[in-house]
């Protein structure tokens, strides 16, 4: 049987650590995040990846806000992004 799941979504399901999941969320194309919202949210919930769940909530909220000079706004999104970056950096240090 062939696996039809997109590779980045398969990586999210197979990730072994929160740092791995954080790196995936931070590199996932926006178009995939918008199309596969439920898949990403359920993966975070399944692994009790609270930082990822918070990031997704803030990300999707920011996607519905008016942009400022072409930039996505949202202090909450920046904070949640920072939490994921801390997870990634903690592993690479």
CA distance 93 to 85: 12
- The structure's pTM equals 0.87
pLDDT tops 80 at residue 19: yes
Length of the chain: 93
Q: With b meaning 16 or more CB within 10 Å and e meaning fewer, what string describes 42-72?
A: ebbeebebebbbbbbebbeebeeeeeeeeee
CA atoms of 92 and 23, how far apart (whole Å): 11
Residue pLDDT, tens place only, 21-48: 999 999 999 999 999 999 999 999 999 9
């Amino acid at each position: 049987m062939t696996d039809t799941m997109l590779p980045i979504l398969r990586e999210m399901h197979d990730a072994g650590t929160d740092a791995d999941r954080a790196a995936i969320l931070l590199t996932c194309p926006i178009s995939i995040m918008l199309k596969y919202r439920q898949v990403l949210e359920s993966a975070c919930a399944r692994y009790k990846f609270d930082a990822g769940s918070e990031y997704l909530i803030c990300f999707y909220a920011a996607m519905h806000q008016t942009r400022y000079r072409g930039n996505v706004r949202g202090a909450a999104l920046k904070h949640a992004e920072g939490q994921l970056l801390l997870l990634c950096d903690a592993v690479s240090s």
